[in-house]
Amino acid sequence: MNVVIIGSGNVATILGRKMFLAGHEIRQIVGRHEDNAAPLADELNCGYVLTLDEINKDSDLYIIAISDSSLAEIGTELFLDKQLVVHTAGSVPKSVLEKVSRNYGVLYPLQSLRKEIKTTPEMPLLVDANTEDNLTLIYDFAKTISDKVEAASDEERLKLHVGAIIVNNFANHLYALTEDYCRNENIHFQMLLPLINETASRLNSFPPKEVQTGPAERNDFQTIEKHIELLAQNPALKKIYEVMTESIIQNVRFKVEKFKVVSDK
């Protein structure tokens, strides 16, 4: 397919690379920031322009990979008649494109993408469209750049986006807090990396509930208390320790009251 990419950030770059490798012809990059658009156009062997006024209007597919707030205004800035156009956002309905073209949809990568990482990880794609025919077109296109493609409505995509935030942003925030904590306490965060990798890769074989371990899971209030004391100087981490511990305890159906009695001592 002939493709125009609107955007030149992480998602634009990674999708661009995947499409280029799959043999699609990237026609043009439309990017506001020349510092990003120029090198991406160079890498994908195409031209670039800095405004939507200069967009190439006769390509097969337009991929919009810009921020959610810019996407909200795209209906007043881009008019494509009948060319197929997709956005790449998890939490924005496809109808944001209804004034852009008669044929529109979504191509949402359910992965954390960083252009500086050259070996792209497995990237599931969620697709959606305003008609069955467009859905088939987008689905088939998606299959050329990913093995894992599923159709998902606006609502399903939004829900999976929430899931993605929990397992990516929140897990990573736990790692970031732990790294800070290790630095402050003069212990080596690096020693925890094998455990972090094991915790993730184990999910390929076991459901997470089956491999839950630790003091909260086994109702070990003495250890929990020891840990909460240790975190007295670190209120941010202490709060999260308490909330997560309480949530695990609730999940294993122990009485929450019991934990509260211990932690209020």
Is 88 a residue that touches its own copies (CB under 8 A)? no
57 vs 260, beta carbon nearer its own copies: 260
Q: Is the dihedral of CA 153, 159, 162, 164 positive or negative?
A: negative
H helix or E strand, kind and range, residue 104: strand 104-109
Of 98-106, 109-117, 130-138, 257-265, the window that binds its own copies (rule: CB under 8 A) is 109-117
User: Whose CA is closest to 155, among 91, 221, 230?
Assistant: 91
Please, is 94 exposed, middle or buried when counting C-beta atoms within 10 Å of its C-beta (0-12, 13-18, 19+)?
buried
* Touching its own copies, residues 242-261 (CB under 8 A): 243-244, 247-248, 250-251
1 vs 240, beta carbon nearer its own copies: 240
* Touching its own copies, residues 21-80 (CB under 8 A): 68-69
Secondary structure (DSSP) of 201-225 = HGGGTS-GGGG--STTTTT-HHHHH
Is 187 a residue that touches its own copies (CB under 8 A)? yes
Is 151 a residue that touches its own copies (CB under 8 A)? no
How far apart, in whole angstroms, are the C-alpha atoms of residue 242 and residue 229?
11
133 vs 198, beta carbon nearer its own copies: 198
Neighbours of 149 (CB within 10 A): 20
User: Whose CA is closest to 13, among 83, 102, 117, 89?
Assistant: 117
Of 43-51, 128-136, 158-166, 253-261, the window that binds its own copies (rule: CB under 8 A) is 158-166
Of 22-30, 35-43, 98-106, 160-168, the window that binds its own copies (rule: CB under 8 A) is 160-168
Number of shown-chain residues binding its own copies (CB under 8 A): 89
Pick from 58, 98, 133, 179 the residue near its own copies by CB under 8 A: 179
Is 262 a residue that touches its own copies (CB under 8 A)? no
